Structure 1
Amino acid sequence: MEIQLRGEVTQFNLTQILNLEKSTVSRLVQQLEKKEWVNRETSPKDQRMKILRLSEKGLKVAQRLETSRIEKFNSILANIPENRHKEVIVGLELLIHAITPTNE
């Protein structure tokens, strides 16, 4: 989760990071707020900017998701011969690079 990785992020930056429309991110943030997973505060530097931080409840959920994700990837990797793990990692890195938007 991007907010967990950064500690805090503005809603505008989250829109750019996720490469989504402002309205889509706004709806997502509203849903996260409703579940009490995210706190949204007005930036003291710019009243138009909203700063997003995980709540205590959101941090617990994010940690559980991270643990679950790691366990899932480890179980998948366990089905691949160990001498081929490096190939898988190189392939995944290539895929990530290919789908990551560039600022051209």
Structure 2
Amino acid sequence: MVQRIDIRKLNKINELENYWAGFYDSLMLFAQISGQLLREGEGRVMGVYNHGLSLYNKGLDCIRELRDSVDEVKSAEIIKVSHILINQAEEMKKSELKVI
């Protein structure tokens, strides 16, 4: 039997994948900047970078879980967690701008 696919769920997956792909590019740029600042003696930047990397990895895990999930309730929980992670990432970006 062919499983029905919820288009809204696919759209949410694509939205999350695009967000985290862009966030990854931002993290790579931030890694370069933080490396430069570390060489100049700005040690707190590494903590912000590590936090961002952790958020990125959690986001990827959520995307993978969402894609593999067939349980609607579980998918809803993953989307909820993903929104929380996105909000945290946006807050981190704001603090990143203050650091730079």
Bigger relative contact order, structure 1 or 2 (CA pairs below 8 A, ≥6 apart): 2
Query: Normalising by structure 2, what TM-score?
Result: 0.31
Looking at secondary structure, tell me which structure has more helix per residue: 2
Is the radius of gyration larger for structure 1 or structure 2? 1
* TM-score normalised per structure 1: 0.30
